[in-house]
Amino acid sequence: MRKIMVAGNWKMHGSMSMVETLLGGVIDGLDDTMPVDVAVFPPAPYLPQVQAMANGSRVAWGGQTLNPNEQGAYTGEVSGAMLVDFGCRYVLVGHSERRTLFGESDADVAERFEAAQRDGLVPVLCIGETQAQREAGETEAVVAAQIDAVLDRCGIAAFDQALVAYEPVWAIGTGLTATPEQAQDVHAFIRDKLSALDGRIGGQIRILYGGSVKSSNAADLFARDDIDGALVGGASLTAGDFLGICRGAS
C-alpha cells in the first residue's frame, strides 16, 4: 500500500514572513483526516527557517535542485551535502523549469539524480511532455526517454529510494489539469516500465502528479490506481489551499 504524498514546490516565491505564515499554517492545520506524507520545497535561502519550524513536525523538506559536484567554483550553485546540512530529505531533479529555462538535458538530470543519492538525498525525478509532444502522440516516448537516461546511468536499483513526479508541461501553472484518466494512463505506463525491470520496485515507487493540482481536483486524482500524490506549485503557496489538497487523500 503506497501512502499518498503531497509536496509543495514553492519555486521562487516567499519571504521570511510568508514562510512563517504559510508553513506555520500547514503544520498547525495537518490532522488525522489527512493520511498523507507532506513535504515542502522552499527556495534555498529559507531552508534554515523551514528546518527550524518543521523539525519534529509531520512536514519534511527538500531542495528544488542541486549541483552534481561535491564542491568547487560553481558560483550560485548549491550541493547535495549543503541541502543535507539543513535537514533536507528530498531534492527535485529535472523539474521542467530547470529543463527549459536552465537547459538541463536528460543526461544532466541523470547526473543530478545520481549525485542526490550519493549525498544521502531522495531524488524526486520530474518528467513530462510538452503540449506539442502530446499532440504528436509522443508522450510515452518522451517520458520513457527521460526515465531511460536515469536507468542508463544509475540502474533500476536506484529507483528503490526515489520518487517520480509526472508533470505534463502544458498543465504547469496554466490552470489546465490533465484529466485523471490522462494522468492515470501515463502513471500506469511509468509503473509498468519500471515493473518490467523489477516488479517490487515498480510496485512500491510513488508516482506523483503535478500540474494545476487544487483542492477541487485532488481527490479525483488520488483515487486513481497509480497516482500516489501530488507535486503542487501555485496552490502550495497558501496553507488553506495546500491543506485542502492534503484532505483529498482522506
Ligand X SMILES: O=C[C@H](O)COP(=O)(O)O
9 annotated binding-site participant: yes
Annotated catalytic residue, options 95, 97, 104, 114: 95
Please report whether residue 234 would count as binding ligand X according to CB under 6 A. Answer: yes
CA 213 vs CA 4, 20, 99, 220: distances in Å: 14, 23, 21, 10
Please report whether residue 231 would count as binding ligand X according to CB under 6 A. Answer: yes
C-alpha atoms less than 13 angstroms from C-alpha of 55 in its C-beta half-sphere = 7
Sign of the four-CA dihedral 153, 100, 242, 79 = positive
Give me the DSSP letters along 15-52.
-HHHHHHHHHHHHHH--TT--EEEEEE--GGGHHHHHH
103 annotated binding-site participant: no
Residue nearest to ligand X (CB): 233
67 annotated binding-site participant: no
Give the span between the Cα atoms of 98 and 238, in whole angstroms.
Answer: 23
**Shortest distance, position 77 Cβ to ligand X, whole Å:** 20
**Shortest distance, position 32 Cβ to ligand X, whole Å:** 26
In the bound state with ligand X, the residue whose beta carbon lies nearer, of 139 and 212, is 212
Instruction: Based on the residue annotation, tell me whether 167 is a catalytic residue of this protein.
Output: yes
**Shortest distance, position 48 Cβ to ligand X, whole Å:** 22
Restricting to residues 128-187, name those near ligand X by CB under 6 A. Answer: 167, 172-173
**Shortest distance, position 196 Cβ to ligand X, whole Å:** 27
In the block, residue with C-alpha cell 489527512: 34
240 annotated binding-site participant: no
Find all residues with CB under 8 Å of 183, minimum gap 6, and list them.
Answer: 166, 168, 209, 221, 224, 227
- Which three cell numbers mark 85? 546540512
Q: Which residues sit at the interface with ligand X, rule CB under 6 A?
A: 9, 95, 167, 172-173, 210-213, 231-235
Binding residues for substrate are 9-11, 173, 212, 233-234
Please list the active-site residues.
95, 167
